Structure 1
Amino acid sequence: MKCRKLITALLASVFAFSAMAAHATEGGGGAYPNGAEDTMAGAIPPSGFYYLNYLNYYTADSLRDKDGDKLPVDFKLKVVADVHRFVYVTKKQLFGGNIGVQTLIPVVYMDAKTPGGSDNAFGVGDIDFGVNLSWHSKNLHQAVALDIITPTGAYDKNDIANIGRNYYTFEPAYGISYVSDSGYEVSSKFMYDINTENNDTDYRSGQEFHFDYFTGKHIGPWTVGLGGYYYKQVTDDKQYGKTVENNDGQVLAVGPTIKYDYKNMSFHVKYQKETMVENRPEGDKYWFKFVYAF
């Protein structure tokens, strides 16, 4: 019965860019691509215009239940996401911090094989609009932000694979980076997601706490270290006004990160292995991130 309930929830859910998977909450995870940020995660750059590109490949071939045990089902998921992020930091200040705005536009391909059949989808996902404030000192960098993820991606409640989630997510965030005089760095970006209801399914996903992290060393133009993410659903899902039991997701991921700075650009390569997984697929993420300052 436990296995059957989890498979049923999976087949009814949405596959979305942000979660890179499905399970727990409607669509699995939240509206943020966990693990996207790494070194200098709390350091929004000075005033100017910036372009960032996140290319991510996620693959999973097992589902975990609420106890972290592998479900005996035939399941495979592959997702390729290319996310275009545009950031403009103004010279205007509020509370001593620079005011900035941003938008993220994901282009996603996914292929899913489940006990209920196979499906694939391709298209533009849910677009993110955000505002932020950032502060800088010699060693410490901090930022606060509010992002609103909008339901712009294609969605059909009868499909196994969906690019969009069909509801809004409001995400306050706080980022912090500390770099010592000798080049050692500790960074993290903390986020909390509040989801609206999916009107097509009368389903409201629970609230979620998650953070990206990095610790490493700057060596000339290179930065090397370990990073990843932690995700935990902190309130229950609801459908038709009733609580969805035993559906809260969790995951911890860790892996190596390498960054190279060249003139007004930076190149990031990283791998993240998921563990401590509950009510989600368990898989691997591969990233290439590019940053360009105009």
Structure 2
Amino acid sequence: MLMFTRYAPFFVLVSAVLVIWMGFGSDWGEALAAEPERVQNIAYALLGVLSIGGTLAYAQWRGAITPFSKPLLWRMHWQQLNKLIPIAIITIMWLILAGGIIEVDWEFVANLPPEWVLTGAISIGAGFHSAILFSPDDDPTVELLLTMPYALSTLIFVRFVLLVSLYVLLGIISHSVLALINGAEINFVYGVLMWLPGTLLLASLGLFVTLVTRQIVFGVGLVILIWVAFWQYGTLIFVSAPYLYSIHLFLPELGTSGQALMIINRLTVLALAFFLLMWSVTLLTREEYIMTGRS
């Protein structure tokens, strides 16, 4: 079982890729619009992959879930979250939405609806914040926390849960305010589905890359690179490789097949987030490498 769970992330990744490839082939958009049953079957298959992946993730993380009854550990990590980062992200977002407080001439935010600004702000904030929280070389507090009677995986688990919870809470509050201001113009459930999977994926990416490289700059750089690529140039995907829409972080309008594509897209992005999280767990079993860089 231990050997199987060690390769669980690759099972999730390969299974998701096979489901997408076997389900769609080359006739991506037209088949979705004409065959809703096909979309439903693919969605069920992806849900099955996510369920199995979630079970395997629990098997890997079960040793880290014990500290839920240790409030001191949670309090110490909460104090290390550097909450100025999400405050700055949300402040910039609301200044952009305020229109008139500051002038926005940047192409990638001009004339965007409020929910799109929220989607971009929450996702890049979580990814950036995650990348700077898990570097042993740049965070001496990790060494201090290791003096407590907990495994390294427990410390990372607590900090990551607090990080994701903080951004989910900020996103829900911000989206609720947008919904109240705009009334029926914003669909709350659809809006949350826009930013939540991408937020989890970028946060998982920041965690994984920083654990591998042990330095903040690589995690931050890759998160920003991927965010900018999908935010600024994501529409080029539909010209050159439309089947790659399943891993698109954001959801542009796609006409009649948009809802079907959204279901597949969100499930696939979540599967990729699961893949990175479970792969991170396999790294945490090598505590000497994480802390010292020696294998």
Q: Does the pair score TM above 0.5?
A: no
**Looking at CA atoms only, which structure, 1 or 2, has the larger radius of gyration?**
2
Which has the larger strand fraction?
Answer: 1
Shorter-chain TM-score bucket reads under 0.3
Which has the larger helix fraction?
Answer: 2
TM-score, normalization: structure 2? 0.26
If asked which structure has higher relative contact order (CA below 8 Å, sep 6+), I would say 2
